[in-house]
Structure 1
Amino acid sequence: MASRYHEVYEGWKRDPDGFWAEAAGEIDWIKPWDKVFDETLGDYGQWFAGAECNTCYNCLDRHVERGRPGQPAIIYDSPITGAKAVYSYEETLERVNAMAAVLSDQGVAKGDRVIIYMPMIPEAVMAMLACARLGAVHSVVFGGFAANELATRIDDAKPTAIIAASCGIEPGRVVTYKPLLDEAIDMSVHKPSNCFVLQREQSKAVLTDGRDHDLGVLMDEALAEGRTVSCVPVKATDPLYILYTSGTTGQPKGVVRDNGGHMVALKWSMTNIYGIEPGEVFWAASDVGWVVGHSYIVYAPLLQGATTIVFEGKPVGTPDAGVFWRVISEHNVASLFTAPTAFRAIKKEDPRGELIGDYDLAGFRSLFLAGERADPDTLQWAEDQLGVPVIDHWWQTETGWTIVGNPLGLGLLPIKHGSPTVPMPGYDVQVLDDAGHPVPAGTLGNVVVKLPLPPGCLPTLWQAPERFHKAYLDEFPGYYKTADAGVMDEDGYLFIMARTDDIINVAGHRLSTGAMEEVLASHPDVAECAVIGVVDTLKGQAPCGFAVLKAGVNRPHEEIEAELVKLVRQKIGPVAAFKLAITVERLPKTRSGKILRATMRQIADGTDVRVPATIDDPAILVEIEEALKARGLAV
């Protein structure tokens, strides 16, 4: 069908308040707003000021009340454990009520923070919804993070409670969470009053008297008693959650998401961007620890009255590269949303797509990719193999939903490989030079969004408004800085080319090179170091560390490099995918002492090297190139 995109986008530009007021009609409000957008509030204004609502009510209660009690809300599929389960909207609501009752009994109340440290199991989704029901602010921490990373989040969020599982399960191994949780609490200055631990049969945790509670036992009691908890009204502008994202200093940034604008934006996106109707099955193959999991495993599908899938597995190895097709076929998935990394892994294992033929994908309509740049080869492979639209789109933890995309629900625009297509309503995307001036079409520049940001985007950072301004608003006054560099062509299509800072993207996970450098620098033999992201055919980017050793260190370099890899794994976790440390004599720097990470990255990736005029000694670049060639890079 012909796309309605241009008509809809222009309608938003003409009357932003009217556009979002109409979209807000899809949400149930306890109290209507005083103003659709109040520019006097917060750091750049706030959406639906004066309104009151409850996100859990909109995700569950209203669907139970209005004809969907028996429809599946959550499908759990764990090829790692062999477990499967289906929870209807009514059953999900009963369990969320039970969990909310358990939390409330231990004093968790409106405005309190609760950290959730769980694997991909239904209870992780239910924990998020239970917090929302109580008006508590949840902060999900990905289970792969090490104890010190969890500790920094405990100290920043200051939770009254933590909800955890006893373990997570990876192919071939069990990862015990409770020792990591105990270590994090020992390390943190702030001490949560209560920890609720869901015992999994693969590894039962030892509970600490006085602090720890068996969540499963308490939920069973609450379910047997038929406990219910009323949805607590919160302001539309109150926080729903805090999600920590890597910062360039290594100190995580707590992205805040509000309640009202978040619901409006996500509900709108399900219909208009993803083309999903109530009752259909939508699968975001991500993790609840990341923003995709928050937005499109939990909240958006349930706001829409759709069915969501909680998948505890991997795209390959659980048991093979056909597991995605098995899940799509078995559960009648209409649309899949995942990272390009997943498809690179599948393509590597099954290059001719032979496993696809084993499954009936007749009901499968679309594939959405995001989280990192979707390379044209992977896009083309997916299109050829699946025969459905493969749609790249671009957004960030900070925005919570699509900045630039191709709106299937409004009718697809022509696809240009390498471009996530065009800005969505709410986003006035521009490309500026370093001085803040617009650049001509086809010219690389800083990708920014004219303020105000639309509903659903972060209003601030948790208890850090100054950092919010410095990170996002100060460099280009009147604009939100995405920290991405890109090109917009004459058709208005955006091409994202690179990060403008030193945050790298490993398999869709944004990770700070600064945090890794802090770990490397803590090694007793390391004098200075640098970490860069190098192109990786499977993960998009992979971290590569360079270490200059202290004078007088006579140990074998291979031994030290192995220790550095192990150290990053211990301090940051396996999610960092840190496998390459290289000892070098010196690092390239400017005369002012700034390490030339971008230049090192160009050498490693084999792209044109732009030698800065301020370089102190160009000969060091040759040394770096030789060190990389010895490891199979820079060739």
Structure 2
Amino acid sequence: MTTTATEDISSLVDVPLWTEAAKNITWSVPPRAVLEKKNDGSPNPYVWFPGGKLNTCYNCVDRNDPDAIALIYDSAVTNVKQKYTYGEIREQVVLLAGVLTDYGVKKGDTVVVYMPMVPEAVFVLLACARIGAVHSVVFGGFAPKELAKRIDDAKPKVLVTASCGIEPKRVIPYKPLVDAACDIATHKVPVKIVLQRTGQALAELNPVKGDRDYYNEMERAKRDGLGFERCVDVDSEDPLYSLYTSGTTGVPKGVVRSNGGHAVVLRWSMDYIYNVKKGQTIFTASDIGWAVSHSYTVYGPMLAGVTTIMYEGKPVGTPDAGAFWRIISEYNVKTMFSAPTAIRAIRREDPNAEIAKKYDLSSLNVLFVAGERSDPETLRYCQQVLNKSLVIDHYWTTELGSPVTATCAGSSDLAVKWGSAGKVVPGSTMRVLTEDTHEEATAPNTFGNIVLKLPLPPAAFPSLWRNDEGYKNSYFTKFPGYFDTGDAGIIDEEGFVHIMARTDDIINVAGHRLSTGSIEQIINANPLVAECCVVPLPNKMKGHLPLGIVVLKNNDGIDLAKLLRELVASTRSDLGAIACFERAVFVERLPKTRSGKVLRRCIRDMVDGKPMKVPATIEDEAVLPEIEQVLRIEGLLPEPLRESKI
């Protein structure tokens, strides 16, 4: 690897900070530098901790106290609770790594994981890391067509799944979905290991087609001495995993996470951002299929040797809106991480926090929220429930792998400004590019494109899986030298970052560009509103007008016409008449992804009369027809719709 002689790399990052952070990772070969720049024409030519060799599983498991509690599994849908020490996890991971290697999986090979929220999913991830294999998690329950796309792209040697996933009102058999996906996929997976969930739906296995029983394989590994004791060294820049996001072209994008930068920044973030130490517990309420759970259910906590909670259940309905508060109380959780939409669901079910009062929440120091924009009303509700605990919004993406803005709980600056996502975290250089010139804004509170100036932070993706062109075109072509987040907002005079909208959710009203987020914030402030989203409604005179899609806390006895007048008046008072907000419809629920992001694009396409591109991550497809019916009754749809999935 060569470096650019004319550029002082050390001026781009805080070298002393990251030199110290790297000392908290066990390296078999220490890196020769914090950062280097390649001369290979890459749109993102920087490499963190070059020359270093390590093993992420060793850092997560082997080096920790074997008697310390590593993982607490709490399944609200099966009433199963289990605790695993670091030593017990190592035993499982060693055996499973032996099973994978016995089926020919080696360094650089891929393993697809299609699992519910069960401890075995964690074991698979760590077993892959142990042998240098690349894991790729796909949500359990994903449609066969979507799973097939990911199989064809990842080309796994082994697929690990479970017999079923369990929802509050139904059981979803996984094996038929896997079989259908394998029939569709061009790449044929040689071996499929199936975890049979005792007492639930069991899968029919066909050994001739490569089906294997998980527990039988683990017993075989133990009996035949197949356990893989050593940890395979990998280069700092070698991939740890790929995680797919839906691409606009219909081809999923495999976000690659490298080993070195990922390990260093996640270990550092547990101290500096989340302030969780050994002997303490973190609860991250996210499915294993999301980057959040990769980073802060599995890798971050285990790199720091703390206790992490894996929860199988929902924020409401398993059994009620006190599920999260029970976990905090029962396990003395110090730090929690949730999506805002989960809090909104709790707020809707328990608006006065009566259920929350049943639990002792005094152990909680901080609640972090992320995944979509957090409106101040949701944060105020959290503060009402949690009293003296800090409530912190922060911002990052699948591509970035760790927070790039936050109020860092382990720092001395604990200032919080609701409505913002905090200040820029060390390791990132965030800028606002003006909409007209695409130049860096010099004045605070300038609205524009939120970008990150290269180099990206240590955990950020160095590539897409076998897709160099997509990597360049999707993220770096529009603003060369910057990573395009796809978000718009401002950085205020105090340095707080306000993410206001996706750049494609900006509404152009008579030549004035308005943020959907600013209008949503005003609507959400009404005490009758549980949540909302705002989309642009085509208008011949003004281009677009804002249309509110509003969910109420309780529909009983509410004068909707009066409420709409109040919402219009509030918007005019805060934004002025230029906002032209006059229309809203009231619905039972909003369409969301499984991580809780509202699918504004689907509703936008709906009112535009365009075919909807419904992402495979949608939580419940029935919501869109419900909203379509309401919009059609209100005369807001131009023509019958066609639907396609991406």
User: What CA distance in whole angstroms lies between the structure 2 residues aligned with 1:583 and 1:62?
Assistant: 52
Change in CA separation of 1:250 and 1:62 when aligned onto 2, cut-off 3 Å: same
User: What CA distance in whole angstroms lies between the structure 1 residues aligned with 2:287 and 2:174?
Assistant: 16
Alignment partner of 2:463 out of 457, 460, 477: 460
Report 1:15-414 matches (<5 A).
16-40=14-38, 43-63=44-64, 68-201=65-198, 202-210=200-208, 211-223=210-222, 227-387=227-387, 388-414=389-415
Q: CA deviation at 1:547?
A: 8.8
User: What CA distance in whole angstroms lies between the structure 2 residues aligned with 1:415 and 1:461?
Assistant: 34
2:7 aligned partner: none
2:598 maps to 1:541? yes
Letter in 2 for 1:444: F
Q: 1:409 aligns to what SS in structure 2?
A: coil
Change in CA separation of 1:357 and 1:254 when aligned onto 2, cut-off 3 Å: same
Q: 1:385 aligns to what SS in structure 2?
A: helix
Contact 1:144-1:573 at 8 Å conserved across structures: no
Change in CA separation of 1:265 and 1:535 when aligned onto 2, cut-off 3 Å: farther
Change in CA separation of 1:15 and 1:378 when aligned onto 2, cut-off 3 Å: closer
Q: 2:335 aligns to what SS in structure 1?
A: strand
User: What CA distance in whole angstroms lies between the structure 2 residues aligned with 1:392 and 1:548?
Assistant: 32
Report 1:548-567 matches (<5 A).
none
2:526 aligned partner: none
Letter in 2 for 1:60: V
Question: Deviations along 1:570-623, whole A, 9 cap, x unmatched?
Answer: x93652645224999xxxxxxxxxxxxxxxxxxx9xxxxxxxxxxxxxxxxxx9
User: What CA distance in whole angstroms lies between the structure 2 residues aligned with 1:549 and 1:361?
Assistant: 48
Contact 1:51-1:236 at 8 Å conserved across structures: yes
Change in CA separation of 1:89 and 1:136 when aligned onto 2, cut-off 3 Å: same
Q: CA deviation at 1:14?
A: 7.7
Letter in 2 for 1:117: Y
Instruction: Note the aligned Cα RMSD (angstroms).
Output: 3.0
Q: 1:74 aligns to what SS in structure 2?
A: strand
Q: 1:154 aligns to what SS in structure 2?
A: helix
Contact 1:284-1:336 at 8 Å conserved across structures: yes
Contact 2:609-2:639 at 8 Å conserved across structures: no
User: What CA distance in whole angstroms lies between the structure 2 residues aligned with 1:138 and 1:297?
Assistant: 16
Contact 2:272-2:411 at 8 Å conserved across structures: yes
User: What CA distance in whole angstroms lies between the structure 2 residues aligned with 1:296 and 1:441?
Assistant: 32
User: What CA distance in whole angstroms lies between the structure 2 residues aligned with 1:77 and 1:363?
Assistant: 18
1:437 aligned partner: 439
Report 1:578-617 matches (<5 A).
579-581=623-625
Letter in 1 for 2:17: F
Question: Deviations along 1:440-489, whole A, 9 cap, x unmatched?
Answer: 32121000111001211000111111111111111111111111011111
User: What CA distance in whole angstroms lies between the structure 1 residues aligned with 2:458 and 2:172?
Assistant: 38
User: What CA distance in whole angstroms lies between the structure 2 residues aligned with 1:101 and 1:232?
Assistant: 12
- The size of the alignment, in residue pairs, is 539
Alignment partner of 1:575 out of 602, 619, 629: 619
Question: Deviations along 1:479-501, whole A, 9 cap, x unmatched?
Answer: 11111011111111110011124
Q: CA deviation at 1:57?
A: 0.2
User: What CA distance in whole angstroms lies between the structure 1 residues aligned with 2:27 and 2:627?
Assistant: 59
1:595 aligned partner: none
Q: 1:627 aligns to what SS in structure 2?
A: coil
Contact 1:534-1:541 at 8 Å conserved across structures: no
Identity among equivalent pairs (%): 49
Q: 2:459 aligns to what SS in structure 1?
A: coil
2:628 maps to 1:626? no
Q: CA deviation at 1:367?
A: 0.4
User: What CA distance in whole angstroms lies between the structure 2 residues aligned with 1:583 and 1:380?
Assistant: 28
Contact 1:255-1:460 at 8 Å conserved across structures: yes
Q: CA deviation at 1:625?
A: 7.4
Q: 2:123 aligns to what SS in structure 1?
A: helix
Contact 1:256-1:461 at 8 Å conserved across structures: yes
Question: Deviations along 1:371-406, whole A, 9 cap, x unmatched?
Answer: 011110000011012111100000000000001111
**Greater relative contact order structure (CA < 8 Å, 6+ sep):** 1
Q: CA deviation at 1:224?
A: 5.4
Contact 1:298-1:308 at 8 Å conserved across structures: yes
Q: CA deviation at 1:355?
A: 1.4
